[in-house]
Structure 1
Amino acid sequence: MSNITQRPNIKVYDNTGTLAAGMYNQFRELFTGQRSQNRPLHIALAGGSTPLAFYEFLAKRPVDDIHWKTIHLWWGDERCVPPDHSDSNYRMVREALLDHIDIGAQNIHRIRGESDPDSETIRYGKEIEENIPLSPVGLPVFDLILLGIGEDGHTASIFPDSDFSADSISYCVVTRHPGSGQKRITLTMPVLNQAKHVAFMVSGPAKADVVSKILKKQIELKNLPAVKVIPVDGILFWFLDRAAASHLDK
């Protein structure tokens, strides 16, 4: 692993496997800190192949390595499909992680993609409000939010030119994929930016161009959602493999 020291919190790894291990080390540090405070750890999960590698890595840890009973798992976004659908982010996490660890159903807070989307944003927002500490401005403060990024610069299910997601005071909203038209439910940008820790996990050469442009803060990309992820009082991490980071020095 190597750190790009001129860009704080950007970490580059040889491949997806070592990236997952590096993310695990960060996760363990967070968990240890929260455990000493004797309170739950609230984590919002992401979909995608790179987070998937992280979940598979977690599933292989020794049984006593992580005290899952104190961890609450949430979802940053979800496709509006049933939980057993191949597109479901919940299904991906369940198969890669949940089926292999000792975690109670009460600690798993999935977005119900099979429900009416508008009603589900209200229900999920209430569940968040009832379980997660709120900031002085009334927004939930997740301990850690995991994010991926699309080649178009979208993150969670906040897509380019989504006007409402940047300024919404709602915890979650319904969006549509600009290509397929598929409905999705996503946490809003204000919620992402209230988190104590936000971690982008990105791998592969297809993401190298957008990663480079975002991290170099090229002004023409200012409308892209990933550019707007700037935690108010938290710490932002970018975990990259070498392929995704390959344009940073160009």
Structure 2
Amino acid sequence: METRIFESKESVAKAFCEYLVKLIASKPTVHIALSGGSTPKIVFNELAAHYSHQIDWNKVFLYWGDERCVEPTDSESNYKMTRDHLLSKVRIPEVNIFRIQGENNPESEAVRYGRVLDEQLSMVGGLPQFDLVILGMGDDGHTASIFPDSIAKWDAPSNCVAVAHPVSGQIRVSLTGRIINHAKEVAFLVTGIGKAEKVQEILQNQPSAKAYPASLVQPESGKLIWFLDQEAASLL
């Protein structure tokens, strides 16, 4: 595991973009699971503004780590955020974009999207393998859409699961731990003072961290990078 700390959310985004561009350039094709959230939004803006012509988008294939079960035009849709801030601004073929269809029945969509991963990704050791999974972490220690109260779903035997948000009850579709930890590389983008306590507990392997799904991100490859701003890293 590697920890990289930067001054601000914006500098985290810039550093991550540099990392991502190098990763894409090093591979003939690259399959990436995206995250929602405020920091990825800045990443997408940075990619669109400064890297739209540096990246060969024909070899980039995009998926999502989780999605709210809403229409793709809904303001809460992770797909819509990505569409608005990145996809509409770069020349990526539509056939390279594999969204979670949040408008579908959640349980059925979890099965369908799991099948998409089986069909589109390289199968390694009997499981579909992403080149990169990008993750965020909530103030409660959740990641993707696996929450502390649904942490058992991390170990589900399927590629994807439907999960209810513990407060709002909103249903989401999420990758499971077996897919996240099977990725060649995993990158956390975590910013803000509200994340500092959980970052400290997880990165210092404190016993309390076992209650947080983000602590279960331990890729088999060993390639895990935490991109943090100074606020999120302030208790380390």
TM range (shorter): over 0.9
Equivalent position of 2:66 in the other structure: 77
Contact 1:194–1:234, Cα closer than 8 Å, also in 2: no
The 2-side partners of 1:151 and 1:58 are apart by 26
Please list, as runs of the form range in 1=range in 2, the aligned pairs for 1:216-231 lying within 5 A after superposition.
216-231=204-219
Q: 2:203 aligned with 1:215, yes or no?
A: yes
* Larger relative contact order, structure 1 or 2 (CA cutoff 8 Å, min sep 6): 2
Equivalent position of 1:176 in the other structure: 164
The 2-side partners of 1:184 and 1:242 are apart by 30
Contact 1:46–1:89, Cα closer than 8 Å, also in 2: yes
Aligned residues: 236
RMSD: 1.1
1:60 shift after superposition: 0.8
The 1-side partners of 2:188 and 2:218 are apart by 12
TM-score (norm 1): 0.92
Q: Which runs of 4+ in 1 moved over 4 A?
A: none
Instruction: Classify 1:41/1:234 alpha carbon distance in 2 versus 1 (closer, same or farther; 3 Å).
Output: farther
Q: 2:52 aligned with 1:67, yes or no?
A: no
TM-score (norm 2): 0.97
1:64 shift after superposition: 2.5
- Give identity over the alignment, percent: 45
The 2-side partners of 1:155 and 1:24 are apart by 21
Please list, as runs of the form range in 1=range in 2, the aligned pairs for 1:89-128 lying within 5 A after superposition.
89-128=78-117
Aligned with residue 187 of structure 2, among 172, 186, 199: 199
Instruction: Classify 1:62/1:29 alpha carbon distance in 2 versus 1 (closer, same or farther; 3 Å).
Output: closer
Equivalent position of 1:135 in the other structure: 124
Equivalent position of 2:2 in the other structure: 9
Equivalent position of 1:5 in the other structure: none
Structure 1 unaligned segments of length 5 or more: list them.
1-7
1:63 shift after superposition: 3.9
1:18 shift after superposition: 1.2
Q: 2:16 aligned with 1:27, yes or no?
A: no
The 1-side partners of 2:52 and 2:33 are apart by 22
Q: Deviations over 1:197-244 (max 9, x none)?
A: 100001111111111111111102212100000001240010001111
Aligned with residue 47 of structure 2, among 43, 58, 63: 58
